[in-house]
């Protein structure tokens, strides 16, 4: 096996060789482990010639923007520009139900926002940024485009991950992908050496397209995003309170564009169904559904139905990967 200290030193060397001494680099931070560790590594290599951007695309979790920006400033001392692009993303997603199309639209909008950020930097610095940092991991590489000789066929090309490929040719930014040979647990190890706070490293993964792939159907309808944020927050908080957050690879709620009949008080209701999903996994490539205690589930379902308007039914996803993927879209 490799020693992670050596991987770090080697990566810093590679970055310094690649990036010219007056080149500037941009990096989009998602608030997740991968982009945070990638940015911290590049910051270690080239210092304040790294310029980070955090995009609120309107598809983030409950209070995510505030929470993440606070951590970047307080714990990581990474200078980050925060851009609110909610309207820009949601207007493009209106009426879109096809999962692949959603991903493509979101990927494209991200690029538009980065492009604008790069142009603004160019105005301020008098020089175009030359590189873009991406927190691409090994599983992203092999699931999106299996390299030859890995024994993986194109049937493994299951979903288009927005952070692999798809960059417009006229963008003229070269990619820095310092994590592309690492698995998630290795990225966490690397982050620990880089003194990224543990609270940050142990966060569950969150997909680039955000809640768009957890609202089935049109994300702009049925107050879906707000409803989903509330359900998700209750679920995750309950998981933390039960002390099982670290035993789970990923947990989240899914909003279904389906209504069912319920009864609350002595009122008949016709409201939405949400699903809860929690899985264990080593690397996200395969996963098993997580077996909750019955009491835990009783409590969560009660909290959700009592506190979230517009939800009267909760389903539990007990499918593993394969045959399902972790995300629903
Ligand atoms: P699936 O749903 O394919 O997910 O079983 C495997 C892991 O990848 C995450 N995921 C993504 N991450 N951009 C990302 O950065 C994406 O487009 C994307 N799609 C899925 C997913 O949350 C899980 O951890």
Q: What ipTM, to 2 d.p.? A: 0.98
- CATH code of the domain in which 251 resides: 3.30.300.10
Residue 198 has a CB neighbour count (10 Å cut-off) of: 10
For the CA of 206, the nearest atom of ligand 1: 22
Check whether 166 has a pLDDT greater than 70.
Answer: no
Query: Do 69 and 114 reside in the same domain of the chain?
Result: yes
Among 179, 201, 223, give the residue marking a domain's end: 201
Residue-level pLDDT at 169: 54
Residue-level pLDDT at 142: 80
Q: Is residue 234 situated within a structural domain?
A: yes
Query: Do 61 and 97 reside in the same domain of the chain?
Result: yes
Query: Do 21 and 46 reside in the same domain of the chain?
Result: yes
Query: Do 177 and 228 reside in the same domain of the chain?
Result: no
Residue-level pLDDT at 165: 45
Residue-level pLDDT at 147: 56
- In tens, the pLDDT along 241-286 reads 999 999 999 999 999 999 999 998 899 999 999 999 999 999 899 9
* pTM as predicted: 0.86
Interval between CA 288 and ligand 1 midpoint (Å)? 15
Tokens of 262: 């319920």
- Distance CA(39)–CA(37), nearest Å, equals 5
- In tens, the pLDDT along 227-247 reads 999 999 999 999 999 999 999
- Distance CA(134)–CA(182), nearest Å, equals 13
Check whether 28 has a pLDDT greater than 50.
Answer: yes
Residue-level pLDDT at 153: 41
Q: Residue of the nearest CA to atom 22 in ligand 1?
A: 207
The response to whether 320 counts as a known ligand-binding position is no
Query: Do 112 and 248 reside in the same domain of the chain?
Result: no
Residue 228 has φ and ψ, to the nearest 5°, of -65, -40
How many domains in the chain?
2
**What residue numbers bound the domain in which 101 lies?**
4-201
Interval between CA 159 and ligand 1 midpoint (Å)? 9
Residue-level pLDDT at 197: 87
The response to whether 30 counts as a known ligand-binding position is yes
Interval between CA 140 and ligand 1 midpoint (Å)? 8
Q: Which of 222, 223, 225 is nearest to 233 (CA)?
A: 225
Tokens of 231: 């359900």
Query: Do 121 and 251 reside in the same domain of the chain?
Result: no
Query: Do 172 and 312 reside in the same domain of the chain?
Result: no
For the CA of 204, the nearest atom of ligand 1: 24
Q: Is residue 143 situated within a structural domain?
A: yes
Q: What is the mean pLDDT of the chain?
A: 91
- CATH code of the domain in which 147 resides: 3.40.50.620
- In tens, the pLDDT along 59-105 reads 999 999 999 999 898 888 888 999 999 999 999 999 999 999 999 99
The response to whether 157 counts as a known ligand-binding position is no
The response to whether 140 counts as a known ligand-binding position is no
Query: Do 39 and 153 reside in the same domain of the chain?
Result: yes
* Pocket (CB within 6 angstroms of ligand 1): 103, 158-159, 161-163, 205, 207-209, 250, 284, 321, 325-327
Check whether 159 has a pLDDT greater than 60.
Answer: no
Residue-level pLDDT at 298: 98
Check whether 322 has a pLDDT greater than 60.
Answer: yes
- Distance CA(15)–CA(85), nearest Å, equals 30
């Amino acid at each position: 096996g490799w020693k992670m200290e050596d991987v770090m030193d080697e990566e810093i060397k590679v970055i310094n060789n690649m990036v010219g001494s007056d080149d500037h680099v941009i990096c989009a931070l998602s608030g997740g482990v991968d982009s945070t560790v990638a940015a911290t590594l590049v910051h270690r290599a080239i210092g304040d010639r790294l310029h980070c951007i955090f995009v609120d695309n309107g598809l983030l979790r409950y209070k995510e923007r505030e929470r993440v920006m606070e951590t970047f400033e307080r714990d990581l001392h990474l200078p980050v520009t925060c851009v609110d692009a909610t309207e820009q993303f949601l207007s493009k997603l209106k009426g879109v139900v096809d999962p692949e199309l959603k991903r493509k639209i979101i990927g494209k909008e991200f690029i538009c926002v980065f492009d604008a950020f790069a142009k603004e930097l160019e105005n301020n610095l008098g020089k175009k940024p030359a590189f873009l940092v991406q927190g691409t991991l090994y599983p992203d590489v092999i699931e999106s485009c299996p390299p030859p000789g890995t024994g993986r066929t194109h049937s493994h090309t299951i979903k288009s991950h927005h952070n692999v490929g798809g960059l417009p040719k006229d963008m003229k930014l070269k990619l820095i992908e310092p994590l592309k040979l690492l698995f998630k647990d290795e990225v966490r190890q690397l982050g620990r050496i880089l003194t990224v706070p543990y609270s940050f490293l142990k966060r569950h993964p969150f997909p680039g397209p955000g809640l768009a792939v957890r609202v089935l159907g049109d994300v702009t309808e049925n107050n879906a995003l707000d409803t989903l944020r509330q359900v998700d927050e209750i679920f995750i908080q309950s998981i933390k309170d039960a002390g099982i957050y670290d035993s789970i690879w990923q947990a989240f709620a899914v909003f279904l564009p389906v209504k069912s009949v319920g009864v609350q008080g002595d009122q008949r209701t016709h409201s939405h169904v949400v699903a809860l999903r929690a899985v264990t996994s080593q690397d996200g490539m395969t996963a098993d559904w997580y077996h909750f205690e019955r009491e835990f589930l009783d409590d969560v379902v009660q909290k959700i139905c009592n506190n979230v308007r517009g939800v009267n039914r909760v389903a539990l996803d007990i499918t593993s990967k394969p045959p399902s993927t972790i995300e629903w879209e």
